[in-house]
Amino acid sequence: MNDVSASYRILPGAPNSPVILHVPHSSRVIPADVRSEIVLDDPALERELDHITDSHTAEIAAAATARCATEPWRFVNQLSRLVVDPERFPDEREEMLAVGMGAVYTRSTHREDLRQADHDGQPLVERYFHPYAAAMTDAVTERLAAVGRAVIIDVHSYPTERLPYELHGDGPRPPICLGKDAFHTPADLLTRAEKAFAGFGGTGVNSPFEGTYVPLKYYGNDPRVSALMIEIRRDVYMSEPGGPAGPGLSRVAAALAELVEAVTVSPGS
């Protein structure tokens, strides 16, 4: 996987769909040259991938898409977030630098060494982070040109039990956490998500994870771009930490499809 364009996939949806399902953390793939920079041995790396990967979220997005009359677009990361994390700031603005988990991680979920402390992550940022961000920006630009609005639904999962790296993990851990942004998450988008995911035993907002992903070109300045993060607690649909999916996956996909359909037909979202 030397071709940078192979580090992500853009799966086209309906021409009139404003929705982009963004799946940034579902892959376990690490190119060999990047693997050589990681200090964990193979068994330890597999355990780390179990904890850090949002397993089966690409499958959830695909299953939801198949249920939609108007198919959303999908932007799916093909590499592990241990290569680069496309949802971090690539500079000092990133608060996760405090635990060694900026755009290029140097520490693990359990705050152990992942790379050498003096590792220079800039080559990975240039090789993978910036092209990914540019492609996602282009995808949003295309939806704006085609439909006049873009709705990014960020598909994530999170562990039932708090992991040591979490900076804000002492709050509630509901079955479904909805991450919102003060500028880019309209009230009706949040309301539709709460309705769609009402059958899982509770939803919460911005706990234990908050915010959502918007390309920096549009962040905080273009209200035509709306966004919401869906964080699915992993016991809802899979065996933890990195096991197989269960019957809950189909239920989650159905709820996500309901949300996609609702925001597709509603220009207010």
pLDDT score recorded for residue 183: 98
Quote the CA–CA distance of 83 and 30 in Å, as a whole number: 6
Where is 134: in which H helix or E strand? Answer: helix 130-147
Q: How far is CA 36 from CA 44, 113, 114, in A?
A: 14, 14, 11
Q: Which residue has the higher pLDDT, 99 or 145?
A: 145
Q: Is the dihedral of CA 215, 219, 221, 224 positive or negative?
A: positive
* Res. 95 pLDDT band, cuts 50 70 90: confident
Tokens of 10: 């853009």
Q: What is the pLDDT of residues 237-260, one digit of tens each?
A: 999 999 999 999 999 999 999 999
Could you tell me what percent of the chain has a pLDDT over 90?
Answer: 87
Q: How much is the pTM?
A: 0.95
Can you say how many angstroms the Cα of residue 168 is from the centroid of all Cα atoms in its chain? 17
Query: What is the C-alpha separation between 65 and 63, in angstroms, rounded?
Result: 5
pLDDT at 206: 96
Mean pLDDT estimate for the chain: 94
Per-residue pLDDT band at 4 (split at 50, 70, 90): low
Q: Residue 6 — very low, low, confident or very high, per pLDDT cuts 50/70/90?
A: confident
Peptide bond into 208 cis (omega under 30): yes
Check pLDDT > 70 for residue 75: yes
Q: Looking at the predicted structure, is the pLDDT value of residue 268 above 70?
A: no
pLDDT tens for 10-57 read 999 999 999 999 999 999 999 999 999 999 999 999 999 999 999 999
Burial of 238 (0-12, 13-18, 19+ CB in 10 A): buried
Instruction: Say which amino acid occupies 223.
Output: P
Residue 2's pLDDT is: 44
Residue 254 · residue 62 · CB < 8 Å: no
- 192 has pLDDT over 90: yes
Asked if the bond preceding 241 is cis, omega within 30° of 0, the reply is: yes
The pair of structure tokens assigned to 208 is: 């234990």
In order of 4, 98, 204, the CA distances from 94 in angstroms are: 24, 8, 24
Among 268, 263, 237, smallest CA distance to 63 is for: 237
5 pLDDT tier (thresholds 50, 70, 90): low
- Per the CB < 8 A criterion, the answer to whether 147 and 139 are in contact is no
